[in-house]
Amino acid sequence: MKLKALRVRNFRTIGPIEQTLSIGEGGTTLVGPNNTGKTNLLHAVELFFTGPENKFGFSKARDLSFVAGSGKTSLVATFAGIDEDEHPDQAVFAAYDRLTEFVDVRPRDSAEFTLSLVMSPSDNPVYQFFPNARKTGSPAEQTAFSRLQSKLVADLFGLFSVQYVPAAKTMDQLNSELLMPFMVKKVARTITPYVPEIESSLEAVAATINAALAEAGLAHFVASFGFPNNSLEALLSGFDFALGDPRRTSIQHKGQGVQSVALLASLIWISEQLRLQGSRPIWLLEEPESYLHPELSRSALDLVDQLRKESTVLITTHALAFVPQNVQRISGVSLVDGMTRIEAFRNYREATENLSRALGVAFSDYFNLSEINVLVEGQSDKDLIPWAMQTIDSVTEQEYPLLFAAAFLDFGGVKHLSGFLRANYGFIRRERVAVPVFDGDEAGTKERRELQQYFGQKQIPFQSNQDYLSVRDRFAIEGLFPDTWIQDIHHEHPTWFDEFSEDSQGNLEPYRVKSAHKAGVINVLSKRAESDASQSWSGPWISFLSALESALRFHRLRLEGTRNENL
408 in a domain, yes or no? yes
CA distance 152 to 162: 18
pLDDT at residue 550 in the model: 97
pLDDT at residue 347 in the model: 72
> Which residues, listed in sequence order, are joined to residue 11 by a DSSP beta bridge?
14, 64
261 in a domain, yes or no? no
pTM, to two decimals = 0.65
433 in a domain, yes or no? yes
Q: Render each residue's pLDDT in the chain as its tens digit; 567 residues.
A: 999 999 999 999 999 999 999 998 889 999 888 889 999 999 999 999 988 888 899 999 999 998 888 899 999 999 999 999 889 999 999 999 999 999 988 888 899 999 999 999 999 999 999 998 888 878 888 899 999 999 999 999 999 999 998 876 666 777 777 788 888 888 888 889 998 998 899 899 989 888 988 888 888 888 888 888 888 887 777 777 777 777 787 777 777 778 788 888 888 888 998 998 889 999 999 988 776 766 677 788 888 888 898 899 999 987 777 777 778 888 989 899 999 999 988 777 677 777 776 666 666 766 778 889 999 999 899 999 999 999 999 999 999 999 999 999 998 899 999 998 998 899 899 889 999 999 999 999 999 999 999 999 999 999 999 999 999 999 999 999 999 999 999 999 999 999 999 999 999 999 999 989 999 999 999 999 999 999 999 999 999 999 999 999 999 999 998 766 654
**What three-state secondary structure class fits 277?**
coil
416 in a domain, yes or no? yes
Q: What is the DSSP string of 280-346?
A: EEEEEEE-TTTT--HHHHHHHHHHHHHHHHHSEEEEEE--GGGS-S-GGGEEEEEEETTEEEEE--S
18 contacts 77 by C-beta, under 8 angstroms: no
> Which residues, listed in sequence order, are joined to residue 499 by a DSSP beta bridge?
512
| Alpha-carbon distances, residue 472 vs 156, 237, 439, 457, 528 (angstroms) | 74, 78, 7, 26, 20
> Which residues, listed in sequence order, are joined to residue 408 by a DSSP beta bridge?
374
Phi/psi of residue 431, nearest 5 degrees: -120, -30
H/E segment holding residue 208: helix 195-215
Domain with 439 in it: 364-566
Length in residues, the chain: 567
Closest by CA position to 314, among listed 17, 88, 68, 49: 49
203 in a domain, yes or no? no
Closest by CA position to 28, among listed 371, 329, 316, 416: 329
398 in a domain, yes or no? yes
CA distance 477 to 479: 5
Q: What is the DSSP string of 397-427?
A: TTT-HHHHH-EEEE-SSHHHHHHHHHHHHHH
CA distance 328 to 24: 6
The 330-336 sheet, strands edge to edge: 160-165, 280-286, 312-317, 27-31, 330-336, 339-343
3-state secondary structure 142-168: HHHHHHHHHHHHHHHHHCEEEEEECCC
CA distance 64 to 67: 8
CA distance 303 to 324: 13
388 contacts 545 by C-beta, under 8 angstroms: yes
247 in a domain, yes or no? no
Q: Where are the alpha helices (DSSP H) in 4-123?
A: 38-48, 60-63, 89-100
Number of domains in the chain: 1
pLDDT at residue 303 in the model: 86
Peptide bond before residue 482 is cis, with ω within 30 degrees of 0: no
pLDDT at residue 294 in the model: 62
- The amino acid at residue 378 is G
pLDDT at residue 157 in the model: 94
Angle at 437 between CA 431 and CA 439, to 5 degrees: 160
359 in a domain, yes or no? no
